[in-house]
Amino acid sequence: MDATTSTIITAGIVAFVGLATTWLTNYFTSNRESKQWERQQQAEQEKRQREEKTAELDRRRETYQNALTHLSNLMSFDREDLSLPKEEQIKLIGEAQKWLNVLCLAVKAKDDAFLTALEEFTGSPLNNVEEMREAVLKLSTTDDLLFPDAAPSSQKKLPEPKAQEPTIHFSMQIDDDFRREQVINAGIQVPRIYNFTRPLSQLTQSQRQLLAHIYFTKHREIPGVVSLPMPTVNGPSEGRWQGKINPTEDNLADVLKLWEQDYKDAQNNLNKPAQS
């Protein structure tokens, strides 16, 4: 092989290697850019999904909050025997029903207790407002958007859940005269309304017996949400207890003991024969 031929072959090899190197460089560059673009698109899509889920969560939380707020307002007006104009009553009931319907559509409610409570509330709002509020609270605890860990996964076998001890969510009102005295004499601001929770087993037997007497006729159980009642001529739970005690986490047993005594005293007074 002469020098010319050798030079041509060498030049050809060098040119081929150069072309191959350029092609490989372009290929890997293009491939890297393509993967980078895909990762960027995926990151943007995941960001949009997170933002959409966050927005949906905010809307769902707002729906529950508005429904509970309007139901609580109805309960407060009913408990305190406030006389509202008919137009104002209709407005309050309409707002509550609006948010309940929004909630029903948003969660595609299939819970029988919620749907039953909604039907009864629609038929007679003021007579069923407490049951409706309790149903909304129960529905919120099983909403997998608000509490994703609360919904069981169908893709893995979960251990058998332990039986949950029944609890009662209590709401009480504090007597305004007592609250005024606490401000003047002790410099203490006592809340007007106080909410607390107690396991059913921590109530005394006489307290459980009293609650069963009050609620079993209508509800066939002690409700999960109880506004500490007082008896009236219209029924055993139509009044609301005005407690003369400053409730704290440390004296809840005393709160229930005082309510029990006040309730029984009021019931005895109602049962006394009328004096002529």
Rounded to an integer, what distance in angstroms lies between the CA atom of residue 218 and that of residue 232?
A: 16
pLDDT in tens, 138-161: 888 878 777 776 544 444 455 555
Find out whether 132 and 119 touch, Cβ atoms under 8 Å.
no
Q: Is residue 91 located within the same domain as residue 180? A: no
Find out whether 88 and 153 touch, Cβ atoms under 8 Å.
no
Position with higher pLDDT, 207 vs 104 = 207
Q: Is residue 201 located within the same domain as residue 130? A: no
Q: Is residue 111 located within the same domain as residue 201? A: no
The alpha carbon of residue 182 and the mean position of all alpha carbons in its chain are separated, in whole angstroms, by 33
Output phi, psi for 100, to 5 deg.
-65, -40
Pairing of strands 167-174, 242-243: parallel
Task: Examine residue 259 and state whether it is found in any structural domain, yes or no.
Answer: yes
- The string over 216-243, giving b where at least 16 C-beta atoms fall within 10 Å of a residue's C-beta and e elsewhere, is eeeeeebbebbbbbbbeeeebbebbbbb
pLDDT in tens, 39-63: 888 888 888 888 888 888 888 888 8
* Single residue among 125, 141, 157 that ends a domain in this structure: 141
pTM above 0.85, yes or no: no
From residue 144, alpha-carbon distances to 48, 150, 259 in Å are: 20, 6, 37
Find out whether 71 and 133 touch, Cβ atoms under 8 Å.
yes
Q: Amino acid letter at 37?
A: W
Q: Is residue 254 located within the same domain as residue 211? A: yes
Residue 73: count other Cβ atoms within 10 Å of its Cβ. 14
Q: Is residue 60 located within the same domain as residue 124? A: yes
Q: Is residue 123 located within the same domain as residue 59? A: yes
Pairing of strands 193-199, 225-227: unpaired
Rounded to an integer, what distance in angstroms lies between the CA atom of residue 134 and that of residue 131?
A: 5
**Domain of residue 64, residue span:** 53-141
Q: What is the pLDDT of residue 161?
A: 52
Residue 143: count other Cβ atoms within 10 Å of its Cβ. 19
Pairing of strands 235-240, 229-232: antiparallel
In 3D space, the residue among 237, 238, 259, 236 whose CA is nearest the CA of residue 247 turns out to be 259
- Give SS3 for 151: coil
Task: Examine residue 88 and state whether it is found in any structural domain, yes or no.
Answer: yes
Percent of the chain with pLDDT over 90: 21
Q: Is residue 176 located within the same domain as residue 132? A: no
* Single residue among 141, 156, 180 that ends a domain in this structure: 141
Task: Examine residue 186 and state whether it is found in any structural domain, yes or no.
Answer: yes
Task: Examine residue 201 and state whether it is found in any structural domain, yes or no.
Answer: yes
Q: What is the pLDDT of residue 241?
A: 94
Q: What is the pLDDT of residue 153?
A: 44
Residue 167 has pLDDT above 80, yes or no: yes
Q: Looking at 51-187, which runs of residues are DSSP E strands?
A: 167-174
Reported as type and span, the H/E element at residue 32 is: helix 3-79
Report how many domains make up the chain: 2
Tell me the mean pLDDT in the region 90-117: 80
Q: Is residue 171 located within the same domain as residue 127? A: no
Q: What is the DSSP letter of 165?
A: P
